[in-house]
Structure 1
Amino acid sequence: MYQSDITQFLNQLKQQKPNLEAEQRRGRSLLWDKQPIDLEERAEQKASRVEQTPYSYYQNF
């Protein structure tokens, strides 16, 4: 059965580092898996936000 060079390389890499996929999953979870949003906290943050004028240097005109 034919295997490309890349497939052979990946299989060899997985044999050398058996925990590679677990490390990849852990890294992915650090970057992409987010905690659920607390809707009450989000509403409080939105209510406490101070509106800013479009161009803040000319507020007194």
Structure 2
Amino acid sequence: MKLTKQFQLYESDHTKFIRELKAKNPEMEAGQIAGRALLWDKAPTSLAEQDKTKESRVSQQAYVYQNKL
């Protein structure tokens, strides 16, 4: 779908805000990348470590709040 020239030049308020914020704080993007690496980007685990994790997992009953008598 081809947009008209009028809509191609449109920029939302949110986009403007983010662009201005990044222009004022150029180090912010590096901080975001570092934060993502800290929380989400993990090193791949080996197959031996995956097997060890599976074997050490404790099975849990279906309904954990009910005590077996």
TM-score tier by shorter-chain length is 0.5 to 0.7
Which blocks of at least 5 consecutive residues in structure 1 are unaligned? none
Residue 45 of structure 2 is aligned with which of 13, 37, 55?
37
Q: How many residues align?
A: 56
After superposition, what is the alpha-carbon deviation per residue over 1:19-60, rounded to whole angstroms, capped at 9, x for unaligned?
1111111111111111211222333452xx486685x866xx
Secondary structure, counterpart of 1:14 in structure 2? helix
Runs (4+) off by over 6 Å: none
Partner of 1:20: 28
Indicate the percent of aligned positions where both proteins have the same amino acid.
38
- Greater shift, 11-20 or 35-44, is seen at 35-44
**Distance of aligned partners of 1:17 and 1:38 in 2 relative to their CA distance in 1, 3 Å threshold:** same
TM-score (norm 1): 0.60
Partner of 1:10: 18
